Chain A
């Protein structure tokens, strides 16, 4: 099973709202990732967790707050977002952190900020 699930599929929120995106994998992977993808662009790395600890933060604004409650679950908390934050948010996981480890992607959450 190489499945990464993400909820919700779609999310519409106002600039004053607080919402969360959820990502789950049951492959025993110890590295999990958040990417942001704008239309017609490649995914951009936001955060990387390794063994439930934040390993990489690609200078993401603090209105995005990641959380890794356990090895299977990754959340992205959203607060005071801007319309330019509207995008497809992708979660991925890999066995470990290493160039040879394949990243498996979820279907994404389509976020619209009004």
Chain B
């Protein structure tokens, strides 16, 4: 079965500083990987996804992520964070199960931005 680990429960970053959120996955075949963002009390918004091809993926809001098969990682990065980036971030892996889709989410990383 697939699994996702987000080692950092909470990260605090100064506005304008760079950001990296870590995600490690476990899956026997080629994974499909996603990053979602959730503002308080809101639904999840897709930031970016990786299926195949170029291992550096560009997303919305200036985010990017790099797939590293050798490290089983899919870390999310942003060169300069804005106060509006404060939210919960979930990494997820998609995989076939009995012919159906099931997303497995990590436990999330809460991002706090300080002025």
Contact = CB atoms under 8 A, between A and B. Distances in A.
Q: Do A and B come from one complex?
A: yes
Interface string B20-48: 00000000000010101000011111100
Chain B contact surface mostly: strand
Contacts of B42: 107-108
A104 B94 contact: no
A106 interface: yes
B9 to A, nearest CB: 9
Interface string B79-102: 000000000001000111001111
A42 B90 contact: yes
16 contacts: A31-B101, A41-B107, A42-B105, A42-B106, A42-B107, A45-B103, A48-B101, A56-B100, A92-B44, A94-B101, A97-B100, A102-B34, A103-B103, A105-B36, A105-B44, A110-B41
A28 interface: no
Nearest to A31: B101
B23 to A, nearest CB: 12
* Interface residue range, chain A: 20 to 34
A108 B43 contact: yes
Contact of B49 (A55, A97, A102, A106): A102
Contacts of B107: 41-42
Contact of A56 (B95, B102, B110): B102
Contacts of A107: 42-43
